[in-house]
Copies of this chain bind each other. A is one copy, B any other.
Amino acid sequence: VPQRDNVVTSSRTGVATVTAGSAVGIVGGGQLARMTLQAADALGLEVTVLAEHPTDSAAASAARLLIGTPTTPEAMIQLADQCGVVTFDHEQVDLGILEDLERRGHLVRPGSRTLQIAVDKAAMRQRFAEAGIAVPRFAPLGQGGTDSERALAGIATFADEHGWPVVLKAVRGGYDGKGVWPVADRRAAERVCRNAHQHGTALLVEEAVEITAELAVLVARRPDGRRVAWPVVRTVQQVGICREVLLPAGLPPDVESAATALALEVADEIDSVGVLAVELFWAGDRVLVNEVAARPHNSGHWTIDGATTSQFENHLRAVLDLPLGDPSATAAAVASVNVLGGPEGLDPRDLLAGALDVPGAHVHLYGKAARPGRKLGHVTVCGDDLDDVRGRAWDAAIALGTPAITTEGDQRS
């Protein structure tokens, strides 16, 4: 019986022929790529994944796979040559390579100019502030961001004006709470600055916003600017990691409409194409843009089971310049709870029976090796009552080995 050789090889001959003509190439092999593949497969679209490792979440389930590093030109050129449009699972990209691909006439969506802003928190804050988009009070620590002394001086000036505590953030590369340091005083700031200096990490400083709730709005946007927004959701973080996503967000109508308006404004401002996730702070009488991610996002996983069109399908539609699907929720209440690796390192795939026993639990597992605290999947439950669906989603996530949320509270801003 002949068999597809599922082992990664260095042979290129013939293979390029098979994958040539993939509609979409995805940079990165994480769970976002994996769920995008699922949506693509339903639409009959062929997708090639560029993953670093054959064991990556999307690599293990992709029929068309390149193994390579997205910060090397060779890998990116090979992907672009095989695909009609290049898009992303993560932002760990080299903007110079993307600009080069664009100059060669490849479609890169979102484009390098959008990503330039999305990957640099200082540039993002600056750009939004200039455009009149509400953001937390902040100060870039300038080119001296990696110079411990100058950074500290900048922080002190900022704190003199706005008071302690403040929040320090790495300008690039932070995610899931990494690269975010709330500091109570100058001494704590010194420790962060020294450490950042050692790692060459540029910082910015911003006010410690007193958050009423964290929100997220996802926008899918086509190259010509047509766009749709999914309903506002409330996200619950702990130690910087998203634990649950809740709909409805339970907001006063003016907060809800402000959040949606801000997200659409941001999408237009940075000319996003594909899905843009806008994370917001609701802080008393203010709604502020916190971060953006120019790709599908954890705060939108609920849309697979709870919206007419999922974020993954609309991301594909948008980057292919196809009509966008209806983002409406299909249920009055939707809760998504992330499946995180527990301290015992149990594989949630071995615990499926318990989770599938929970009525209405939509279980999504990413095929990743189990490690404590690692995002291994999510569970979504849809229904009429938020308390009910939230309870069931937690029951299933805990059955899969997820540690229960502790009462320590959220350690970041």
A residues engaging B (CB < 8 A)? 1-12, 14-16, 18-19, 34-35, 37-38, 41-46, 54, 60-68, 74-75, 78, 304, 308, 317, 322-326, 330-331, 348-349, 352-353, 356-357, 359-361, 363-367, 377, 382
Contacts and interface: CB of A to CB of B under 8 A. Distances in A.
A290 to B, nearest CB: 29
A330 B42 CA distance: 20
A111 to B, nearest CB: 21
Given A44-B366, A365-B44, A366-B44, A54 B4 contact: yes
A300 to B, nearest CB: 15
A325 to B, nearest CB: 7
Contacts of A6: 4, 15, 18-19, 63-65
Which of A3, A60, A331, A349 counts the most chain B CB atoms within 10 A? A3
Given A9-B4, A44-B366, A54-B4, A63 B66 contact: no
Nearest to A65: B4
Count copies of this chain in the complex: 2
A360 to B, nearest CB: 6
Given A317-B356, A330-B330, A67 B10 contact: no
A38 B34 CA distance: 11
A324 B357 CA distance: 7
A5 B1 contact: no
Given A2-B8, A35-B42, A323-B356, 11 more contacts: A1-B78, A2-B68, A3-B11, A3-B15, A3-B67, A4-B66, A4-B67, A5-B8, A38-B38, A42-B365, A63-B65
A91 B224 CA distance: 48
Given A5-B9, A322-B353, A41 B45 contact: no
B357 A3 contact: no
Contacts of A304: 42
Contacts of A65: 3-4, 6, 63
Contacts of A46: 60, 367
A349 B46 CA distance: 10
Nearest to A381: B308
Given A61-B63, A322-B356, A356-B317, A45 B3 contact: no
Contact of A7 (B14, B67, B78, B323): B14
B67 A377 contact: no
